[in-house]
């Protein structure tokens, strides 16, 4: 059985210093870390917040993602794909179910299609010139409506390898929007060819 919130917190605090700061993570010592360890500090641990606050859109009637169900670059009856503007990497896309589901609530048919769509989107992003990888992230603490991120890692930027890519994305200057829009359109067209759907909402 998993530790209770108080047990988890007490165990973590026992490994921290007098200010409740944990040691720097091993990841900060990796050569792909965007931060130098010298002078870097961990935020003090805070106690658990119970009950946890609601995420945005817990009530579908107040869900912005549901209100935007007809916005994006690719659609079918069940899913939509949108470009995320204002990022530092060459391309960031977001896949959403058009109806209000979180991942654990997806019917099996949609869950199976999510796997197929994810694979096809990754293939199409990685087929773009000067893109080495498409990283896929599913978080879910901010919004209750499922949203899956796709981040394109630029070719040759080996300092951006792996799990630090999303941090580098936040540090980099904004990528040229016209280039990202053209690449997003290419991915959408390829997805129409491989998975069906269309460039406009049904």
- The domain locations on the chain are 1-52, 60-195
Q: In angstroms, rounded to a whole number, what is the distance separating the alpha carbons of residues 115 and 183?
A: 22
The fold of 60-195 is: HIT family, subunit A (3.30.428)
The predicted pLDDT at position 54 comes to 96
- DSSP letter for each residue of 45-69: PPPP-SSPPPPBTSSGGG-HHHHTT
The predicted pLDDT at position 72 comes to 98
Cα angle value 139/143/146 (rounded, 5°): 65
* Cβ neighbours of residue 11 closer than 8 Å, sequence gap 6 or more: 3
Helix axis angle for 108-126 and 177-195, nearest 10°, is 130
The predicted pLDDT at position 152 comes to 98
Q: pTM for the full model?
A: 0.94
pLDDT in tens, 154-197: 999 999 999 999 999 999 999 999 999 999 999 999 999 999 99
Low-confidence ranges of the chain (pLDDT < 70): none
The predicted pLDDT at position 132 comes to 97
The predicted pLDDT at position 183 comes to 98
The share of the chain scoring above pLDDT 70, in percent, equals 100
The predicted pLDDT at position 113 comes to 98
Going by C-alpha positions, the residue among 140, 144, 149 that lies closest to residue 63 is: 144
């Amino acid at each position: 059985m998993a530790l209770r919130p108080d047990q988890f917190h007490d165990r973590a605090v026992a490994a921290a210093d007098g200010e409740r700061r944990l040691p720097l993570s091993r990841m900060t010592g990796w050569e792909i870390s965007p931060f130098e360890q010298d002078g870097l500090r961990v935020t003090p641990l805070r106690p658990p917040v119970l009950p946890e606050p609601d995420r945005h859109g817990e009530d579908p009637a107040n869900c912005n993602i549901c209100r935007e169900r007809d916005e994006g670059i690719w659609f079918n009856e069940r899913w939509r794909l949108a470009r995320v503007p204002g990022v530092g990497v060459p391309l960031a896309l977001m896949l959403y179910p058009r109806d209000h589901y979180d991942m654990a609530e997806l019917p099996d048919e949609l869950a199976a299609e999510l796997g197929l769509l994810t694979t096809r989107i990754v293939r199409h992003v990685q087929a773009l010139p000067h893109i080495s990888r498409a990283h896929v992230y599913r978080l879910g603490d901010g919004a209750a409506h499922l949203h899956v991120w796709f981040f394109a890692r630029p070719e040759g930027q080996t300092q951006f390898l792996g799990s630090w890519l999303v941090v580098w994305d936040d540090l980099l200057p904004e990528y040229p929007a016209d280039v990202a829009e053209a690449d997003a359109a290419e991915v959408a067209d390829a997805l129409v060819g491989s998975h069906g759907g269309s460039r406009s909402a049904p």
